[in-house]
A and B are shown apart, each in its own frame.
Chain A
């Protein structure tokens, strides 16, 4: 079975550029989560969706960050404009109905120069 698929795996770009991270959840899962991992702050939940609807975006750091889930099989996390402090590993996770565990993608390592 395919797991959560994230792209790109690595992204290096210059400050001020727009960055788009992509996620394909596991088929049949109805919840999708975006996390950011840094040494200083550990794993932080940015936003999550249930049935394609954003439920809690309180973790989104500021208006430069936005996330969409246009359908059950695709989500994007966009940063515009990007800043060096956005450098981190970004994970997408999905889970099925009920209290199923979240399954994580391999992450996108983002470096903003």
Chain B
């Protein structure tokens, strides 16, 4: 069975601080995909990134960066110089790459990030 754990339920930082959101996953599949989604206070779920299990290169997009380490089954998300607009719930998710449950997402419980001015 697949499982995604986001151990940090809530994080509170002050604007301009860097913050890292942790994500640890479990799967028996050798090929899989990892995702991060953002849910701002308005409630919609916004796709941020997808990473496949064969690509362990870190990725940077503006103030966002992701660190995928297969050896520790982790896919952590860092926001550099956080801003108030980053306040949201962030979800890490996992899907396998084949079989009958192809494309089905398993979500973590989410981390509530609050950035104070």
Chain A contact residues, CB within 8 Å of chain B: 31, 33, 42-43, 45, 48, 50, 55-56, 89, 91, 93, 95, 99, 101-107, 109
The 9 closest A-B pairs by CB, nearest first: A104-B45, A43-B107, A101-B47, A106-B44, A101-B50, A42-B109, A99-B33, A31-B103, A107-B43
Q: Is the CB of A56 within 8 A of B33?
A: no
Contact partners of A102 in chain B: CB under 8 A: 47, 103, 105
B75 cross-chain contacts in A, Cβ below 8 A: none
Q: Is B66 interfacial (CB-CB < 8 Å)?
A: no
Contact residues in B for A43 (Cβ distance below 8 Å): 91, 107, 110
Known interface pairs A42-B109, A99-B50, A101-B35; A56-B43 also in contact (CB < 8 Å): no
Closest to B43 in A: A107
Contact status B44-A55, CB under 8 Å: no
Whether A99 and B52, one on each chain, are in contact in the complex, defined by CB atoms closer than 8 angstroms, is yes
Stretch at the interface among B20-28, B57-65, B78-86, B94-102: B94-102
Task: State the CA gap A55–B99 with chains docked (Å).
Answer: 11
Tell me, rounded to whole Å, the shortest Cβ–Cβ distance linking A29 to chain B: 11
Cβ of B107 and Cβ of A104 under 8 Å apart?
A: no
Q: Give the Cβ gap from B82 to chain A, nearest Cβ, in Å.
A: 24
At the interface, yes or no: B104 with Cβ under 8 Å from chain A? yes
CB distance B43 to A89 under 8 Å? yes
* Cα of A50 to Cα of B104 in the assembled complex, Å: 11
- A99/B95 contact (C-beta < 8 A), A42-B109, A106-B43, A107-B44 known: yes
